[in-house]
């Protein structure tokens, strides 16, 4: 696994490579902003947030995201690993605290179970977000696709053409 300093060096290298090949890009004209955009994307994953934090437009952020996706992937892998380790450590501490509380009935009575459940839920969500497995949007197909409609129209045209050809043949034979 990469360290944070290695990740920052790989970001700088990626920006330098882009700057060398595309002289008019933000990587060439303002490398510090490009690096900040990449770090914002890596930490928050939001194009809109990175654009507003760094003072660049969303199209530029989206392009940076595409051009530096390997570095962003490494950074997200690092963040996922860190989140997992923190989650494990927090769970170990929660287990220790819970073990201590089990022996003290007064402390158990004082502790709100929602606090424990909320902590566990937040740790799970952080881990899932870092792994890129956050909540999924429900996709509902409310109608036929464009391809289905085009195929249906072609079928109708073919039937009409066949019907016209048949009527012409009948008209000729009469």
Q: How far is C-alpha 138 from the chain's CA centre?
A: 15
Q: Which of 79, 87, 88, 54 is nearest to 4 (CA)?
A: 79
Note the pLDDT tens digit of each residue in 65-78: 888 888 888 888 88
Task: Report DSSP state, residue 135.
Answer: P
Would you state the pLDDT for residue 136?
55
Interior CA angle at 131 toward 69 and 91, to 5°?
145
The structure's pTM equals 0.51
Domain boundaries of the chain, sorted by first residue:
4-71, 73-130, 144-174
Share of the chain above pLDDT 70, in %: 90
Note the pLDDT tens digit of each residue in 14-66: 899 888 888 888 898 999 999 999 988 887 778 898 899 899 999 999 899 88
Would you state the pLDDT for residue 104?
83
């Amino acid at each position: 696994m990469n360290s944070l300093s290695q990740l920052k060096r790989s970001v700088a290298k990626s920006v330098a490579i882009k700057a060398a090949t595309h002289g008019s890009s933000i990587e060439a004209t303002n490398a510090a902003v490009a690096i900040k955009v990449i770090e914002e994307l890596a930490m928050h994953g939001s194009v809109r947030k990175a654009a507003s934090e760094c003072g660049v437009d969303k199209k530029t952020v989206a392009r940076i995201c595409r051009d530096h996706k390997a570095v962003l992937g490494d950074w997200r892998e690092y963040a996922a690993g860190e989140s997992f380790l923190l989650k494990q450590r927090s769970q170990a501490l929660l287990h220790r605290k819970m073990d201590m509380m089990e022996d003290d009935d007064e402390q158990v009575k004082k502790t709100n179970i929602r606090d424990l459940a909320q902590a566990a839920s937040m740790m799970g969500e952080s881990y899932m977000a870092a792994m890129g497995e956050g909540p999924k949007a429900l996709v509902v197909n409310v109608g036929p696709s464009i391809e289905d409609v085009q195929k249906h129209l072609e079928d109708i045209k073919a039937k009409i053409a066949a019907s016209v050809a048949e009527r012409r043949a009948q008209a000729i034979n009469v």
